[in-house]
Structure 1
Amino acid sequence: MTDLASLLVDRPWLYRATPFPHVTSDQVFTADFYSELAEAILELLSRGLSETPATGRFSRGMRGYDAYGIGITEELGHPLNVFLSPPWRDLLSDLFAVGRTPYVFAGAHHHRPGGANGFIHTDFNPVWFPVSPPGRTSIRLPDPAVCDFKTGAGSLAPSEKIETIRGAVVIYYLLNEGWQPGDGGETGLFTGRNPESLTTRRPPLNNSLVAFECTPTSFHAFLANRRPRTSIIMWVHRTFEEAVERYGEDQIERWQL
């Protein structure tokens, strides 16, 4: 992959403290690389939207979330593999002092017009991966065929899988031409689980992002949209031990299965 620094616009990212610490940027990638990313997502969208889980297509399957999603895998290659690269992992981890691990997940989301508000959540969730061998420096992606993403169930032996906790997340917006205030589709940031605690609406402007550490108080949600809304979302994962030491095991938001 091309050196990450050469793909990024040379402009500071902004740190904001409320309603919880988060980072924003309105110009992330160079114009050329943004165009490559947009073309890659357009090609995936051109395969059609599936109402049931379908490999290789945007499809429904996320409980409580009115969106079509697709996982970003190594097979998709350039340019989407930038979100699976160690340099991008390091950038996001280091922004929020999350210990670097090989464990990463990335995907793309698409909302048709009329999408409903998402549920308010923190992303401070446990996630299972096939364990990465000692000394491995490459990225390890989840593999639900052998290790369920939320429970760890599957064919792997206990020594072959690992429970991690989402450490930080970045939401990158693209293909939202012509967006204007009132169109919706923002990422809402809240002080609590009450919808009335909405503090910040992060607009889905092309080539912009919002990123934050996943903590017991990183309350956020998708806000209802009047126009199509597309984004790429990526998480880095911290060790279970680091999450417990920093926030306590009782604060981990277990999945409602």
Structure 2
Amino acid sequence: MTGVLESPAPALPGWFAELFAHRRWVRRALPFPHVYVRDVFAEGFYRRLAEEYERIRRDRVDEFFAVSERYSADQISLPDLQDGPLALFSSREWHDLITGVMGVQTTGDVEGAVHHHPPGSPTGWAHCDLAPAWFPGDPPGPDEIRLPSPTVNIHNGTREPDVTARETVRAIAIMYYLGNAEWSPGDGGETALFAHLNGQDAPPPDLLVPPLNNSMVMFECTPRTWHTFAGNNVADRNCVVMWLHRPKSDVVQRWGEHNIVQW
């Protein structure tokens, strides 16, 4: 079951709306509710994003670091990408567009990075992304966003005694693909979505989202939004991966604290 959304919203600033190629964003019901978009941005702006990422990958490769021991990607974080077109993903306009499309109330806290998987990367593990995240200071105002800070450990809130922080939980996951080679079926590197898990083992995916340049998939994080990197990519696979957040109390009320996945 699918439906077509009218996005971006017409209430957004004209300069921002002009960045997008069209307003036909597709809502899919299976294997869990998600939104899929082909040709997100107009060709000229996509080219600027891809060229900027190519420059960063070439000139700042020493700033990339491993995502985790369990995951084959390295990354450069959004807070380190604030002086070029990739800063769009840290803007309040982008935040408000995504929350409006998804219909999820969020806090204005934004976490994310550009992930790079080298060729032949292994399959990841299926997970739901309903995980905690700690941000510094007071909640951002209606025209602000808050990014992670080195003063607060985003995973567990560890900080110096004089530093304040708030615990949130991931609310919306977004994956925007860019800077990839021309992709064909069989090239691997997709994002796998699952309707069910069999204990600790992931079954064959119910849907594979291809890493097509200038495309995007996003979904509300719930206890059942199981997904992973499908691996076995024949070429580099690059993707902006980011999350918007909601208050922990909202998640506890809706699904119970036991469904929050700790790091």
* TM-score, structure 2 as length reference: 0.88
- The answer to whether the aligner puts 1:97 opposite 2:103 as a matched pair is yes
In structure 2, what is the equivalent of residue 196 of structure 1? 203
Shift of 1:108: 0.1
Q: Secondary structure at 2:71's aligned position in 1?
A: coil
- The answer to whether the aligner puts 1:68 opposite 2:68 as a matched pair is no
The 8 Å contact of residues 110 and 231 in structure 1, kept in 2 or not, is answered as: yes
Q: Please give the residue correspondences for 1:104-119 in structure 2 after superposition, counting only pairs within 5 Å.
A: 104-119=110-125
The 8 Å contact of residues 79 and 148 in structure 2, kept in 1 or not, is answered as: no
CA offsets 1:167-190 (integer angstroms, 9 cap, x no match):
001100011122111010000001
Please tell me the residue identity of whatever aligns with 1:153: T
Quickly say closer, same or farther: Cα 1:209–1:136, change in 2 above 3 A.
closer
Quickly say closer, same or farther: Cα 1:235–1:208, change in 2 above 3 A.
same
Unaligned runs of 5+ in 2: 1-12
- The answer to whether the aligner puts 1:215 opposite 2:222 as a matched pair is yes
The 8 Å contact of residues 82 and 88 in structure 1, kept in 2 or not, is answered as: yes
In structure 1, what is the equivalent of residue 10 of structure 2? none
Quickly say closer, same or farther: Cα 1:147–1:10, change in 2 above 3 A.
same
RMSD, matched Cα = 1.9
Q: Secondary structure at 1:235's aligned position in 2?
A: strand
- The answer to whether the aligner puts 1:174 opposite 2:178 as a matched pair is yes
Please tell me the residue identity of whatever aligns with 1:191: A
1:146 aligned to which of 132, 142, 151: 151
Quickly say closer, same or farther: Cα 1:126–1:184, change in 2 above 3 A.
same
CA offsets 1:64-119 (integer angstroms, 9 cap, x no match):
11011110126632311110111111121222222131200121011110100011
CA distance in 2, matches of 1:239, 1:97: 15
CA distance in 2, matches of 1:110, 1:154: 29
- The answer to whether the aligner puts 1:240 opposite 2:251 as a matched pair is no
Q: Secondary structure at 1:76's aligned position in 2?
A: coil
Please tell me the residue identity of whatever aligns with 2:115: H
Q: Please give the residue correspondences for 1:158-173 in structure 2 after superposition, counting only pairs within 5 Å.
A: 160-173=164-177
1:21 aligned to which of 16, 20, 33: 33
The 8 Å contact of residues 130 and 223 in structure 2, kept in 1 or not, is answered as: yes
The 8 Å contact of residues 117 and 223 in structure 1, kept in 2 or not, is answered as: yes
CA distance in 1, matches of 2:219, 2:170: 11
In structure 1, what is the equivalent of residue 189 of structure 2? 185
Shift of 1:132: 2.7
CA distance in 2, matches of 1:113, 1:74: 25
In structure 2, what is the equivalent of residue 54 of structure 1? none
The 8 Å contact of residues 106 and 171 in structure 2, kept in 1 or not, is answered as: no
Shift of 1:121: 0.5
Quickly say closer, same or farther: Cα 1:17–1:75, change in 2 above 3 A.
closer
Q: Secondary structure at 1:3's aligned position in 2?
A: helix
CA distance in 2, matches of 1:67, 1:121: 16
Q: Equivalent pairs: percent with the same residue?
A: 38
CA distance in 2, matches of 1:86, 1:124: 22
Q: Secondary structure at 2:241's aligned position in 1?
A: strand
The 8 Å contact of residues 109 and 140 in structure 2, kept in 1 or not, is answered as: no
CA offsets 1:137-189 (integer angstroms, 9 cap, x no match):
3111011x21101010011547x200000000110001112211101000000
Unaligned runs of 5+ in 1: 51-56
Shift of 1:238: 0.5
In structure 1, what is the equivalent of residue 7 of structure 2? none
Q: Please give the residue correspondences for 1:45-84 in structure 2 after superposition, counting only pairs within 5 Å.
A: 45-47=57-59, 49-50=61-62, 57-73=63-79, 76-84=82-90
CA distance in 2, matches of 1:95, 1:44: 30
CA distance in 2, matches of 1:39, 1:205: 16
Quickly say closer, same or farther: Cα 1:131–1:10, change in 2 above 3 A.
same
